[in-house]
Amino acid sequence: MVLQPSERHYRDRNHRRLGPWCSPTGSPAPLSCETGCGEGSWILVCRLLVPTQVSLLSMEEDIDTRKINNSFLRDHSYATEADIISTVEFNHTGELLATGDKGGRVVIFQREQESKNQVHRRGEYNVYSTFQSHEPEFDYLKSLEIEEKINKIRWLPQQNAAYFLLSTNDKTVKLWKVSERDKRPEGYNLKDEEGRLRDPATITTLRVPVLRPMDLMVEATPRRVFANAHTYHINSISVNSDYETYMSADDLRINLWNFEITNQSFNIVDIKPTNMEELTEVITAAEFHPHHCNTFVYSSSKGTIRLCDMRASALCDRHTKFFEEPEDPSNRSFFSEIISSISDVKFSHSGRYIMTRDYLTVKVWDLNMENRPIETYQVHDYLRSKLCSLYENDCIFDKFECVWNGSDSVIMTGSYNNFFRMFDRNTKRDVTLEASRENSKPRAILKPRKVCVGGKRRKDEISVDSLDFSKKILHTAWHPSENIIAVAATNNLYIFQDKVN
């Protein structure tokens, strides 16, 4: 069986699918509840609907389009495939939160400023800017459709009044500038007030243009387009700590870019074999070290992580460190290779640890210990008995992401039934919470949820057979310095805040 990265899933020689298509400050308080008991310490700040073009047009007549909140929520039946959120990312200060969707749109939310009269509104976010980042394309040479879906968004540190972010679909990375304008120039010499060119013969005096106040306008302009460098689908982008370069990773290669050069990139990893029949693994995620500009990691569909040092070699096919946990032969099954595929890899803010997410677990690795992780957290171990049905409905290939909190003491990742999980590394406590429309009243306290595996079910427990696998939390984000989290569920964005904040 010849492995082709353009296929929806990768398969080995036995026709088994290998994997899916594809320094903050502050010390947040630890979690204050145990699994399945007590009250949660998280409250719902707001639930935001990613606006579509239709909803924006209908709201322009009545309200400021930047204020989209609970009053304008629509039912899920109105959500189209293009409205589904595909990535979520806070900027470095946490004042802005960007989401990308399958329709190629980027929606940026801005944090509400705190006032003396409304202190509780400090954690709320409202729509700041919406723009179309990518459009659907067609590769005529390969007869392939290129989706407009936004795979990843990464912010650059703010250097001036404007904001910059990278967004990517399967093939093209774009650098966007988001800026505000509250003044407009008037009094041009060669143009009239309507912007039309004047007859030079009528110009008899020289005027000095002046700036006049105007309503605040947020503009998003593309500054760079990095295209034509990836044969396969881009799954990761990561900004280097030197803020001059970034890397983009697809299924078989990783490229290094300079922000000022759009027509050339340097290939730093290439795992494509000479004979595609020998392909046994693909790259699933990659990230730069937060402090060392020469170091990066990438994960594979085999459940391995490679740490590379660009000082050792220009082409980093030979890794510096190799992280892999030996599999217990007694636990090996038909699904072992599939569920061991790593869907996300993240450096801790300190740079000392690496966190990886596979289908059933989250693992924390110490950079100084390669043979096994120092921590392993079971996300939804109750699904082991359901792997066969999850394989049939393709849910087993879902790519869940994971995030650290600002102090690296708590980690968060998503699950099914709109559940998301938090694990406190210090107390070893964990909690399951739900992003639900039924519990979407502002300031409502989230109650911990628990999944029942056996026949007897207690009150407030949900049976594993009742889980809705069409509702899944794949994308989450944590504020860089505060206990504020963003959870994407279909076309809804939930903002939660720790009750003690």
Q: Whats the size of the chain, residue-wise?
A: 501
Residue 166 has pLDDT above 90, yes or no: yes
Instruction: Using alpha carbons, select from 268, 263, 295, 266 the residue that is nearest to residue 283.
Output: 268
pLDDT value for 501: 54
| Contact of 345 with 297, CB cutoff 8 Å | yes
State yes or no: pLDDT of 131 exceeds 70.
yes
pLDDT confidence of residue 42:
87
The answer as to whether 389 is a domain residue is yes
Q: Is 397 helix (H, G, I), strand (E, B) or coil?
A: helix
Percent of the chain with pLDDT over 70: 83
Q: Is residue 384 part of a domain?
A: yes
Neighbours of 239 (CB within 10 A): 20
The residue with tokens 């396969």 is 232
Strand partners for 421 = 413, 432
Q: What is the mean pLDDT of residues 248-254?
A: 97
Contacts of 54 (CB under 8 A, 6+ apart): none
CB half-sphere exposure, 148, CA atoms < 13 A: 17
Whether 170 and 151 have beta carbons less than 8 Å apart is answered as yes
Q: What is the pLDDT of residue 127?
A: 92
Q: Is residue 457 part of a domain?
A: yes
Q: Whole domain around residue 148: which residue ranges?
A: 48-53+80-178+226-498
User: What is the pairing mode between strands 410-414 and 125-132?
Assistant: unpaired
pLDDT of residue 21: 28
DSSP assignments along 448-499, one per residue: P-EEE-SS---TTEEEGGG--TTSB--EEEE-SSSSEEEEEETTEEEEEEET
In this prediction the pTM is 0.83
Q: How confident is the model at residue 317 (pLDDT cuts 50, 70, 90)?
A: confident
Following DSSP, what letter does each residue of 250-314 receive, concatenated? Answer: -SSEEEEEETT-SS--EEEEE---SSGGG----EEEEEE-SS-TTEEEEEETTS-EEEEETTT-S
- Is position 349 within any domain? yes
Question: Does 360 reside within a domain?
Answer: yes
Tell me the pLDDT tens digit for each residue of 367-406.
Answer: 999 999 999 999 999 999 999 999 999 999 999 999 999 9
Answer yes or no: is pLDDT of 54 > 90: no
Amino acid identity of 252?
L
pLDDT band at 474 (very low <50, low <70, confident <90, very high): very high
Token pair for 310: 């660009």
Residue 397 located in a structural domain: yes
- Give the count of domains, the chain: 1
Residue 51's pLDDT band (boundaries 50, 70, 90)? low
Give 39's pLDDT tier (boundaries 50, 70, 90). Answer: very low
For residue 91, give both structure tokens.
Answer: 């900027």
Q: Which long-range contacts (CB under 8 A, 24 or more apart) does 78-83 make?
A: 79/490, 79/491, 80/52, 82/52, 83/50, 83/52, 83/490, 83/491
Nearest to 129 by CA among 168, 198, 178, 92: 178
Residue at 400 is within a domain: yes
Please state which of the ranges 61-75, 88-102, 157-171 shows the lowest mean pLDDT. 61-75
- The CATH number covering residue 279 comes to 2.130.10.10
Does a structural domain hold residue 120?
yes
Q: With bands split at pLDDT 50, 70 and 90, how would you rate the model's confidence at 146?
A: very high
pLDDT band at 113 (very low <50, low <70, confident <90, very high): confident
297 and 307 Cβ atoms separated by less than 8 Å: yes
CB 91 within 8 A of CB 116: no
Q: Does the pLDDT at position 311 exceed 70?
A: yes
Q: What band does 98 get if pLDDT is binned at 50, 70 and 90?
A: very high
* Separation between Cα atoms, residue 417 and residue 435, nearest integer Å: 9
Measured CA to CA, the distance from residue 126 to residue 385 in angstroms comes to: 42
- What the block records as the tokens of 294 is 């020469």
Least confident of 9-18, 37-46, 168-177, 184-193: 9-18
Identify the pLDDT of residue 117: 61
pLDDT at 195: 74
